[in-house]
Amino acid sequence: MSIAYQIVVCGSIVPDPLQTLEPVTGPTGPALKNEMMLPAVLDPWAGHALFEAAHLAKSAPGSKVWLASLGPKAKLQQVMMTVAQKVPFELVALDGPAGGFTEAADVAAALADAINAIPGLDKSRLLVFGGWESASRGAGATMQIIGERLGIHDQFQGVDKLTIAADGSLEVLERIEGGIHQVSKCAAPPAVLGWATGNLPEPPNNPQVGMMNMRVVMPALQRAKPAKVAAEGVKFASVTLPKQQRDTRIVKDAPAEEIAKEIVEWISKS
């Protein structure tokens, strides 16, 4: 049985992980220093979700992938220039803050509304994908609340693998404690899947796909509605950087035996 899936991937942007981040107090609460200037990337786990979505869509003819993204319009546009080269999708853009100090519940409300407004949405074919956690808030909350708002109660988090069985049911592998996977079988869509790393490498850039996507990306960005995303009810008493610097002792030119002895002594000390 082949289903033409409607796969909506929820994913936004985060600061490039190689950047040094520093918290500051902004007018509405904590924020990052020079937040709008920091180079951004597609949130990594959401990126994996997008690649998995494209892979599934390819194997199920008639399927379509949307990328629902809530972030500052200008930054979204920058990141989409790269992301659009990877896999085919239609962008659903919402204009609002993408920082970590906002409420997952607000983001979820805006995204769920945007998903509901997709023309021709058919829940019997709907798979809502996203990262199981963002690299900003890192809460693992947004996808669950989107599911609740859409009335989808088959939800999976930390997903590394999705296999469609011959009868159309979904076999899902989720990360659980101790480096193992829980295996579940879900009768049929709709379902929410928060992806971990999955199994696919990042697709190479494909300029043709890029050109096709950008035709839709630009108008979507122009249409992007402002989304109300804040942190009402939350009082941040402090946001601090950890004492990161250790006083590193560097051991150079020592024989391997000596180093090994020192390491074994260290291991044995409780």
Partner 1 sequence: METILVLAHTETDGSLAKPALEAIGAAKQLGGAFVVGLVGENVQAAANSIASCGAVKFLGATGADFKQPRYATDAAAAEAVCKAAGAAIVIAPATSRWNRVLAGVAHRLGGRADTHVTAVTAANGAVAVNRWYYRQRMEAVLQRTQRPWVIALESGCCEAWKGSAGSAAVEAVAVTLSDACKRTTVTGIHAPAADQQTIRPDAAMLLVAGAGWTKTQPDGKAHIAEAEKHILDFLRLTKASLGSSKSLVDLSGEGQAVLPFMTHLHQIGQTGSTPRHPKGLSTCCHGEEPHTVGWRFVNERRAIDLDPNCGWARGKADVLYIADAFQVMAKVNELLAAKK
Using CB under 6 A, count the residues that bind ligand FAD.
3
Window 107-146: residues binding partner 1 (CB under 8 A): 108, 135-142, 144-145
Which residue reads 């959401």 in tokens? 46
Q: Tokens for 184? A: 């579940």
Name the residue type at position 270.
Answer: S
Residues 11 to 30: which contact partner 1 by CB under 8 A?
14-15, 17-18, 20-21, 23, 30
Query: Which CB, 232 or 258, lies closer to ligand FAD?
Result: 258
Q: Is 268 in the site for partner 1 (CB under 8 A)?
A: yes
Q: What are the residues facing 173 on neighbouring strands?
A: 161, 183
In the complex, the smallest distance separating the C-beta of residue 131 from ligand FAD, rounded to whole angstroms, is 12
Cα 214 to Cα 241: distance, rounded to the nearest angstrom: 38
Q: Which of residues 10-69 bind ligand FAD (CB under 6 A)?
A: 17, 41, 44
Structure tokens at 39: 């180079």
The stretch near partner 1 (CB under 8 A) out of 63-71, 84-92, 210-218, 255-263 is 255-263
End-to-end CA distance of the chain: 58
Which among 213, 4, 29, 27 has a CA at the least distance from the CA of 103? 29
Q: What is the DSSP letter of 178?
A: T
Least distance from ligand FAD to the Cβ atom of residue 136, Å = 13
Contact yes or no for 106/141 (Cβ under 8 A): no
246 binds partner 1 (CB under 8 A): yes
| Tokens encoding 234 | 């939350």
Q: Which listed residue (4, 81, 165, 259) binds partner 1 by CB under 8 A?
A: 259
Residues found near ligand FAD in the complex (CB under 6 A) = 17, 41, 44
